Chain A
Amino acid sequence: MPLDTLSTYSQTLLRQDGRRWNELRRITASISTQPASDGSSLLTLGNTMVLCTVTGPREGRGQRDNKNALVETDIHVASFATMDRRRRVRADKRIQELQSTISSAFQSHLFTHLYPRSTISISLHVLSLDGGLLVACLNATSLALVDAGVPMPSILSAVTCGVIVPTEDSKAKPEPLLDLNTAEEQELAYLSIATVSGGEGAEDKVSVLMMESRVEIATGSGKIEAMLATGVDGCREVRRKMEDVVRKHGAKVMMGLR
């Protein structure tokens, strides 16, 4: 790449795309974008674009649970989502892991006991990918489930967070970066974190935490703590933006009814 984050960040404190360390990429979202489904959303997180549709709660085929609804997830990453077009195999273990993560996160987050013996099907289509795949899918799914009217205690929001370590001074204070794009993801250590609101006055709780990079922890440099703290704050910001989207859509619906 022509520019890398490490070389210029220490002088200007600006990232490759001009953001500062705690700034999110532009987030735009719409709900009720697919009238044929029970709930749908289209989320844009920077250059990452995800379309999510929710069907259900409906009668499940095959296995059923007599006490809770079952949440199942299907993710399709379009071949044109990345710069190089490639054919995606359906049995990709990486995608299956994301599907398991999203199903498990919402299985325990939603009030599934209100819909016994039913199934909630989540279908995600990734139209454009520029970092934060799991994070964008989780956010889009939250909005689609709100549109479907599935009860949940709060909106589950997700964000990625990385850390810069100046190579010349390993004892320097860690520099967390919020909401990485693809170039930053390939370069830095980062984690994806999803939180739910802890209720009145309580702190946010971590629902999903995924990290694939190696981060030094033995010397007490506080890199993990910095990433977690910045990630939790970023999730709160993302939740606020998503709640705004829901409120605007609600106001529009109320106006239409009147």
Chain B
Amino acid sequence: MPREIDISNIERNFILEALQQGVRVDGRSLDQFRSLELEFGDEYGTVTTRLGKTRVHVQISAEVTKPLEDRQFDGIFTITTELSPIASAAYEVGRQTEQEVILSRTLEKAVRRSRAIDTESLCIISGAKCWSIRADVHVLDSDGGLIDCSCVAIVAALRHFRRPDVSVDGENVTIYTMAERVPVPLSIMHNPVCITFSFYHGGDTIVLDATRSEEQVRETSATFTVNDFELCQVSKMGGSPIDAVVLLKCINTALAKGKEINGIVAKKLAEDSTKRDVGGLIAELRAENER
């Protein structure tokens, strides 16, 4: 089966020695993220996120379906991730590797189980019709930081997405096209951001946003999901043991970095909104005006 290309002993020792001296191979400081870029597509809910050399594309789609039996007042929200050989030669089509399960589960816990979307607002007729939101995550390039990049991409895409407007008349549901009515944004409760820490030298060296080489060399990692004031999810799945006090410091660092990243996403969304507002005519079209 295909495997990740192993790192050589010389490169491994070089990276570890450099980290011991507080230096990273690509020149970043230990707590610095790679540059985060967001590109929104023409369609609503399409975003390509770039974190250094890691690239993730997310597409949000919506359709009307029947709600689950035990949750008749909730819509359905699913996240689909698939690692394909386009991202790295180590991935194989169809076969689910351990990394794919970890990526899928972490994103599920970070975004869906922490209720980033208000699924109750996706209900059209309870027990009969509801919206089913689907987030398809495509990893285009993999150079470490896959969980962080994917989570930012999903949240940005959800905030960018617009679903068609519906009206309900008794049991009849009318879905209007984009040309008939202005589409409706999703109800976002909070914006989770995944921050992954890598630990070296028994926890003495902590690195943020490791590249692929640094990921291969690390002893263990911990992923924290934060929004502006809450810790939503923690995943430290084994690996070398770390002091609890060190983990608490990581949580505080993750909180600060999460605010930074959410600021970047908000700025990019505002830019995209301005770009769609051709000629600035939305201000002229506003119906609610102050006296």
Contacts and interface: CB of A to CB of B under 8 A. Distances in A.
Nearest to B252: A217
A208 B220 CA distance: 10
A218 B230 contact: yes
Contact of A211 (B234, B240, B252): B234
Contacts of B240: 108, 207
A28 interface: no
B238 A215 contact: no
Contact of A207 (B96, B101, B108, B239): B239
B238 A107 contact: yes
A103 B238 contact: yes
B169 to A, nearest CB: 37
- CB-based closest 6 A-B pairs: A104-B238, A105-B238, A205-B241, A218-B229, A211-B234, A209-B236
Nearest to B113: A212
Interface stretch (B15-23, B124-132, B242-250): B242-250
A105 B234 contact: no
B230 A97 contact: no
A214 B239 contact: no
Interface string B204-234: 0000000000000001101000101111111
B262 interface: no
A219 interface: yes
Given A205-B242, A206-B243, A211 B237 contact: no
Given A108-B220, A203-B243, A210 B231 contact: no
B102 interface: yes
B32 interface: no
Nearest to A218: B229
Contact of A108 (B101, B104, B239): B239
Given A211-B231, A224-B251, A100 B102 contact: yes
A96 B254 CA distance: 27
B238 A224 contact: no
A105 B219 CA distance: 12
Residue among A102, A103, A211, A232 facing the most chain B CB atoms (10 A cut-off) = A211
Contacts of A208: 236-238
A96 B219 CA distance: 21
A97 B239 CA distance: 14
A225 B241 CA distance: 18
B47 interface: no
A218 B255 contact: yes
A102 B237 CA distance: 8
Given A105-B238, A216-B230, A205 B243 contact: yes
B101 A96 contact: yes
Contacts of A108: 219-220, 238-241
A228 interface: yes
Nearest to B241: A205
A91 B97 CA distance: 12
B238 A106 contact: yes
A107 B114 CA distance: 30
A215 B251 CA distance: 12
A101 interface: yes
Interface of A: 91, 93-94, 96-97, 100-109, 191, 195-196, 198, 203-219, 224-225, 228-229, 232
Given A100-B98, A108-B241, A214-B231, 8 more contacts: A93-B101, A93-B108, A108-B238, A205-B242, A208-B236, A212-B113, A212-B233, A215-B230
B101 A97 contact: yes
A206 B229 contact: no
8 contacts: A94-B105, A108-B238, A196-B241, A205-B243, A206-B241, A210-B234, A216-B229, A218-B228
A224 B236 contact: no
A68 B162 CA distance: 51
B109 interface: yes
Contacts of A101: 237-238
B230 A217 contact: yes
Contact of B229 (A204, A213, A219, A229): A219
Nearest to A192: B234
A214 B242 CA distance: 22
A196 B238 CA distance: 11
Contacts of B236: 206-210
Contacts of B235: 209-210
Contacts of A213: 232
Contact of A228 (B115, B229, B248): B248
B237 A100 contact: yes
B30 to A, nearest CB: 20
Contacts of B239: 104-105, 108, 207
